[in-house]
A and B are shown apart, each in its own frame.
Chain A
Amino acid sequence: MELFMPVFIAVVLVFGLIKRVPLFDAFVVGATDGMRTLAKIAPTLVGLIVAVDMLKASGAMELLCNAVTPLADTLGFPKEIVPMVLLRPVSGGGSTALLTGIYKDYGPDSFAGQVASVLAGSTETTFYAIAVYYGSVKVKKIRHTLISALSADFTAAVMAVLTVKLMLS
């Protein structure tokens, strides 16, 4: 799996050559875009990482985690991830802040770190997507959208634990 990145890059470059894309020019355009995206999320991330660090330092995060421990244990769910599961559908930046917190405290290759990674990779900011898409066509009655979308998010959380348990540890 460690060759995944270099091989993926090579495949894209060969594809670009065949399609006569000006490789380096395109790369520079994209990289500039990447920088712009980063600059755009920077203020959000600074604000939310500070907020999450405060939540952890104050002991409030521990209280929250302890409060849900019985439920998390019954479901076989690492309790360190619970805040992220709750925040994930609501705020992309907030859950990224929690994700980096988990990496920092437990390491990206720990069980909690792996489950959090899979969870982050298999879910989206549900409420944001709903607001943007329905807002654009002024639809207010969204019927069964929310229940379907949140059930999908819950499935992703359960599957993240299951797949990491079965395939990685």
Chain B
Amino acid sequence: MMNYIFGAIIIISVICGILTGNGTALADGVISGAKDSMELLMTMAGMMMLWSGIMEIASQGGFTKVVSRALAPVLRKLFKNVPKDSKALHYISMNVSANLLGLGNAATPFGLSAMGELNKLSTEGGKATDDMVTFVVMNTASIQLMPTMIGTLRQTYGSAEPFDILPCVWISSACALAVGLILSKLLRR
């Protein structure tokens, strides 16, 4: 997929640039793009490392587990078909907690384990169960409380208040998640 997108963007740009007579600007774009992207990465590096370091402290202190325990009752209601003795619920709540805290690298392995457990409960191989749909939809929505990457980027580009968007992010993610979850229930057949 990415291969086609990458190829298409560049080929369309070159053709369009030549047709519209923007050839010089296009050549400049190639050079400045490469230079800018490295500059951006260098300016971001410090903040990224700081945040990852701070979140690792939270993670080693068992922050994820604390949040996970708090979420379990809500998640149990959402995944009613999952039997209590299944490990699925444990993995699901660890995955959701890690996502909330922005620990994407930690969330994916939990999510894959959760899918594995949900698959064991499935009677029809190769077809998504209701719970799988709900779980995957949750993971396609962003529920991160602290979008650190965006905050860092905003700061890098000189934002006066990089995190003033937080309340907007929370409201809009909550609405998106709600719509996703409601549809994942309504469209069951």
Contact = CB atoms under 8 A, between A and B. Distances in A.
Given A58-B29, A122-B172, A141-B128, A133 B154 contact: no
A47 B154 CA distance: 21
A49 B184 contact: no
Given A54-B9, A54-B14, A149 B140 contact: yes
Interface stretch (A14-22, A65-73, A74-82): A14-22
Interface string B30-59: 101110111011001100111111111111
Contacts, number: 342
Nearest to A2: B161
Given A12-B58, A26-B57, A54-B13, A121 B147 contact: yes
A14 to B, nearest CB: 10
B9 A52 contact: yes
Nearest to A153: B176
A58 B40 contact: no
Contacts of B57: 12-13, 15-16, 21, 23, 26-27, 30
A151 B75 CA distance: 22
Nearest to A28: B53
B141 A48 contact: no
Which of the four size classes fits the interface of chain B? 35 or more
A60 B154 CA distance: 26
A127 B187 CA distance: 19
Contacts of B160: 109
Given A16-B60, A34-B52, A159 B164 contact: no
Contact of A142 (B63, B105, B128, B162): B128
Contact of B127 (A46, A121, A143): A143
B71 interface: no
Contacts of B13: 51, 54-55, 57-58, 60
Contact of A163 (B34, B60, B172): B172
A35 B45 contact: yes
Interface of B: 1-2, 5-6, 9-10, 12-14, 16-17, 20, 22, 25-26, 28-30, 32-34, 36-38, 40-41, 44-45, 48-63, 105, 108, 111-112, 115-116, 118-119, 125-128, 132-133, 135-137, 139-142, 144, 146-147, 149-151, 153-154, 157-169, 171-173, 175-177, 179-181, 183-184, 187-188
Sorted from nearest, which 10 A-B pairs have the closest CB atoms?
Answer: A30-B56, A34-B52, A57-B29, A53-B33, A152-B180, A58-B17, A159-B172, A19-B61, A163-B168, A27-B53
